[in-house]
């Protein structure tokens, strides 16, 4: 019988948990969690998004998105604006304060990644990232 660590899915699950713990620890002082950070990072690469699009793209329950956006609005990191395509809909947009927060956390985010991937050299990290990206593109689209 195979040992637990022979199961790639389990290893990915455990590393995902560890990564979340590390990110949540570094975000703790700001009062945010990894889910907020992921939403901010997504918004940084878009012109804004409908809440239902955020739910689909991030894989979060729609009701969770509402609370996350509420939290980010209170901090001034995101805001809801009328959609240019449909005035009845609202898009969520990253604010300048949100961009500043992300700039300020870039180095800490890299430290978390470096801690998690410490056993790997630069080439191995690039390979791992490329492989994970390929799996994510196919499995999380």
- The tens digit of pLDDT for each residue in 20-74 reads 999 899 888 888 999 999 999 999 999 899 998 999 989 899 999 999 999 999 9
Residue 68 makes CB contacts below 8 A (sequence gap 6+) with 35, 36, 39, 60
Taking 60 as the threshold, does the pLDDT of residue 118 lie above it? yes
What is residue 119's DSSP assignment?
T
Cα distance between residue 51 and residue 131, in whole Å: 29
**β-strands 78-82, 49-50 pairing:** unpaired
| Burial of 33 from C-beta contacts in 10 A (0-12 / 13-18 / 19+) | middle
Taking 70 as the threshold, does the pLDDT of residue 141 lie above it? no
Residue-wise pLDDT tens digits, 67-109:
999 999 999 999 999 988 887 888 999 999 999 999 988 888 8
């Amino acid at each position: 019988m195979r040992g637990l660590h022979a199961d790639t899915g389990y290893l990915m699950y455990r590393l995902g948990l560890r990564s979340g713990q590390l990110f949540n620890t570094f975000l703790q002082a700001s009062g945010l969690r990894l889910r907020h950070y992921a939403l901010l990072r997504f918004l940084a690469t878009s012109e804004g998004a409908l809440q239902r699009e955020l739910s689909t793209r991030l894989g979060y329950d729609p009701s969770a998105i509402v609370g996350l956006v509420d939290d980010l609005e209170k901090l001034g990191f995101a805001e809801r604006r009328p959609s240019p395509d449909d005035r009845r809909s609202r898009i969520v947009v990253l604010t300048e304060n949100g961009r500043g927060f992300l700039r300020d956390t870039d180095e800490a985010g890299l430290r978390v990644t470096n801690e998690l991937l410490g056993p790997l050299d630069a080439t191995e990290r690039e390979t791992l990232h490329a492989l994970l990206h390929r799996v994510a593109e196919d499995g999380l689209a």
